[in-house]
Amino acid sequence: MSQKRKVIKLATVFSGIGAVEQALMRLEVPFETVFACDNGERHIDIDYDAEMKKIRKLSGAKEKKKYTERLYEKKSRKINFVKQSYLANYKIKKDNFFEDVKLLDGTDFNGNVDLFVGGSPCQSFSVIGTKGGFNDTRGTLFYEYARLIKEIQPKVFIYENVYGLTRHDKGKTWNIMQQVFSELGYHYTFKILDSRNYGIPQGRRRIFVVGFKDEAAYKKFKFPEEIKLKYTMQDFLEDNTAPGSLQSVNGKLVKVNKLRGKPEEKYYLSEKLIAYCLSPGTKNFMHAGAKIDLPVARALLSTMGNLHRSSVNNYVTTNGRVRALTIREAHRLMGFPDSYNIVVSKAQAYKQAGNSIVVDVLINLAREIINAEKWNK
C-alpha cells in the first residue's frame, strides 16, 4: 500500500506571481501556503521600527495583518496589483496574504513552515540598477528576509537574486550576506543557475542559496544537473499573433497607427537595430537557428524603456517582421503555463513576468530539495 505524499508547508516573501507555487504544481507535489507577502511595489512613509514594536504587542497574525492594512490605507492609494494576480491563481486565504515584509512578525509562524522562499528586490545589485547595495533601501530588505528565517525557523529556505550581487562592491556585499546566512545556524550552499540550462530558451542567470536545518539533508542535497536545451524562443510564441505594428519608414522603424493604418511620427528603432533584431541569435532569448550550445549568442534588442527581461521592449520576429512579445509569451518564457490567469493590465503583466523567477529552474531545484528532505515518501 502506497503512502500519502507529504503536504509541504510553504511560505514566501517578495512573493510576486508565485513561481515556486507553479513549480510545485507542475511537479504535482501537494503543498499548503502558510503565508505569502508582497507590497506590490507600493511604498509608505512611516517609522517602521516604531510601528513594528506596536505590531509585536498585538495578538496573533490576523490582528497584525489588519493593523498593517490600515497603515497602507492611510498612507497609499495605490493598488497592490501583485496581490490581485496572486489571489487569482492560488488557494490561499486572504488573511494569509501580507502587505509588507518589514511589518511581518515571523514568530507567529515559528516551526510551522517546511519551505521558505524569497528573493529581495534585485535592483540594488543588478547591472541595470543603481548598484546601491545595502545603501539602497531595497538592498536592506535582505536583512528582513534573514530576520524572518531566524523567527520562523523553516526546515529549508531558498534565497534568489541576480548573479551580479556576488560582484557588488568588489564582493564585499556578498561576503556580508554569507556571514549573515552563517549566523542563522543553517547549513547552506549556493550556485548560479541559468534558465537556458533548465529547459527555458532564455539567458537568465540568478544566484540561488539553499539552506537546511538538518545536516543530513544538506549533505544529501545537490544542485540539479544541467539539461540540454531542446527549445527555441519560437516554440513559445503564439501562432495566431499578428506579425506586428512596426514599419520601416525613411530608415527608421516607427509604430503604425492601428486606426489610420499610417506610421506615427514617433521613431522607435533604427535600421541598424532592425537588422540586429532580425539576426538569428540572442543573448537573452534563444532564436530558431541560433547555436544554442554556445555560451553567448547575439543580444536581443532592448530599448531604453522598461528594462525587465520580459517587457514590452523585448522584440521578436514573425515572418521576418518585428513585434513585441505578447504578455502570454512573456509569461511562457518565464515558465508559466497558459492556465495561469492574467488579471491585470498589460503593463502590469509585463512587469510581473519580468520580476518573477523562472519556474523551470525552481522545478529542478525543488525536486532535489524534496529528495534530500525525503518529502516524497
Beta bridge partners of 115: 10, 156
Choosing from 44, 113, 122, 365, which is the catalytic residue?
122
Tell me how far the alpha carbon of residue 241 is from its chain's centroid: 26
| In contact, 20 and 335? CB cutoff 8 Å | no
Q: How far apart are CA 120 and CA 294, in angstroms?
A: 31
Q: Which three cell numbers stand for residue 292?
A: 544554442
Quickly count: other Cβ atoms within 10 Å of residue 20's Cβ.
Answer: 25
3-state DSSP assignment of residue 202: strand
CB of 156 closer than 8 Å to CB of 116: yes
As beta bridge partners, residue 330 has none
The verdict on whether 277 is a catalytic residue reads no
Q: Specify whether the CB–CB gap between 298 and 279 falls below 8 A.
A: yes
Ramachandran region, residue 368 (left: φ > 0; alpha: ψ -120 to 50; beta: rest): alpha
DSSP state of 6: P
Centre a 10 Å sphere on the Cβ of residue 271 and count the other Cβ atoms it contains.
12
List the catalytic residues. Answer: 122
